[in-house]
Chain A
Amino acid sequence: MTDHNMALAQLEAGESPIIEFSDVNKWYGDFHVLKNINFSIKKGERIVVCGPSGSGKSTMTRCINRLEEHQKGSIIVDGIEMNDNLKNIEAIRKDVGMVFQHFNLFPHLTILENLTLAPIWVRKTPKKEAEEMAMHYLERVKIANQAAKYPGQLSGGQQQRVAIARGLCMKPRIMLFDEPTSALDPEMIKEVLDVMIQLAEEGMTMVCVTHEMGFAKTVADRVVFMDAGEIVEANRPHEFFDNPQHDRTQLFLSQILNH
Chain B
Amino acid sequence: MTKVFQPSPSLPPPVNSVGPVAWVKQNLFSTPANTILTLLSLYIIYLLVVPVINWGIIDATWSGESKAECTAGGACWAFIRVRFDQFMYGRYPIEEYWRVNLSAIMLIVLVGMYAVKAVNKTMLTAGILLVYPVIAYILFAGDVFGLQRVETELWGGLFLTILLGMIGIIASFPLGVLLALGRRSNMPIVKSVCIIFIETVRAVPLITILFMASVMIPLFLPDGLNFNKLLRVLIGITLFSAAYMAEVIRGGLQAIPKGQYEAADAMGLTYWQSMILVILPQALKLVIPGIVNTFIGLFKDTTLVYIVGMFDLLGMIQLASHSPNWLGTTIEGYAFSGFLYWAICFAMSRYSMAVERRLETGHKRN
The interface of chain A, by Cβ under 8 A from chain B, is 65, 67, 90-91, 93-94, 96-98, 100, 102, 104-108, 117-118, 121-122, 150-153, 166, 170
Task: Tell yes or no: B330 within 8 A of A by CB.
Answer: no
CA distance A108 to B259 in the complex (A): 14
In the assembled complex, which residues on chain A have CB atoms less than 8 Å from the CB atom of B278? 106, 117
Task: Tell yes or no: B267 within 8 A of A by CB.
Answer: yes
CB pair A104–B263 under 8 Å, yes or no, is yes
Within 8 A of A (CB), among B296-337: none
CA distance A91 to B268 in the complex (A): 7
In the assembled complex, which residues on chain B have CB atoms less than 8 Å from the CB atom of A105? 263
Point out the residue from A67, A117, A153 that lies within 8 Å of B277, measured CB to CB: A117
CA distance A122 to B259 in the complex (A): 19
Residue on B nearest A153 in the bound complex, by CB: B362
Residue on A nearest B262 in the bound complex, by CB: A67
**Given that A94-B268, A122-B268, A151-B363 are known contacts, is A100 also in contact with B282, CB under 8 Å in the complex?**
no
**Measured between C-beta atoms, what is the minimum distance from A184 to chain B in Å?**
15
CB pair A108–B359 under 8 Å, yes or no, is yes
CB pair B267–A93 under 8 Å, yes or no, is yes
**Measured between C-beta atoms, what is the minimum distance from A148 to chain B in Å?**
12
In the assembled complex, which residues on chain B have CB atoms less than 8 Å from the CB atom of A97? 266
CA distance A40 to B278 in the complex (A): 34
**Measured between C-beta atoms, what is the minimum distance from A29 to chain B in Å?**
17
In the assembled complex, which residues on chain A have CB atoms less than 8 Å from the CB atom of B282? 106-108
CA distance A118 to B264 in the complex (A): 8
Task: Tell yes or no: B270 within 8 A of A by CB.
Answer: yes
In the assembled complex, which residues on chain A have CB atoms less than 8 Å from the CB atom of B281? 108
**Measured between C-beta atoms, what is the minimum distance from B95 to chain A in Å?**
50
Task: Tell yes or no: B285 within 8 A of A by CB.
Answer: yes
CB pair A93–B285 under 8 Å, yes or no, is no
CB pair A118–B363 under 8 Å, yes or no, is no
The interface of chain B, by Cβ under 8 A from chain A, is 257, 259-260, 262-270, 273, 277-278, 281-282, 285, 359, 361-364
Residue on A nearest B260 in the bound complex, by CB: A104
Task: Offer 9 A-B interface pairs, CB within 8 angstroms, sorted by A.
Answer: A96-B266, A100-B262, A100-B263, A104-B260, A106-B264, A106-B282, A117-B267, A122-B268, A152-B364
In the assembled complex, which residues on chain A have CB atoms less than 8 Å from the CB atom of B264? 106
In the assembled complex, which residues on chain B have CB atoms less than 8 Å from the CB atom of A150? 361-363
In the assembled complex, which residues on chain B have CB atoms less than 8 Å from the CB atom of A104? 257, 259-260, 262-263
**Measured between C-beta atoms, what is the minimum distance from A24 to chain B in Å?**
19
CB pair B267–A118 under 8 Å, yes or no, is yes
Q: Which of A96, A100, A107, A170 has the most CB of B within 10 A?
A: A107
**Given that A152-B361, A153-B362 are known contacts, is A121 also in contact with B269, CB under 8 Å in the complex?**
yes
CB pair B268–A102 under 8 Å, yes or no, is no
In the assembled complex, which residues on chain A have CB atoms less than 8 Å from the CB atom of B270? 90
**Measured between C-beta atoms, what is the minimum distance from B15 to chain A in Å?**
33
CB pair B265–A67 under 8 Å, yes or no, is yes
In the assembled complex, which residues on chain B have CB atoms less than 8 Å from the CB atom of A166? 267
Q: Which of B266, B285, B362 has the most CB of A within 10 A?
A: B266
Point out the residue from B263, B266, B364 that lies within 8 Å of A106, measured CB to CB: B263
In the assembled complex, which residues on chain B have CB atoms less than 8 Å from the CB atom of A67? 262, 265-266
CA distance A97 to B268 in the complex (A): 9
For the complex with contacts A104-B259, A108-B361, A122-B273, 16 further pairs of A-B residues with Cβ separation under 8 Å are A65-B266, A67-B262, A67-B265, A67-B266, A91-B268, A102-B259, A104-B257, A106-B263, A107-B282, A108-B285, A117-B267, A117-B277, A122-B268, A151-B363, A153-B362, A166-B267
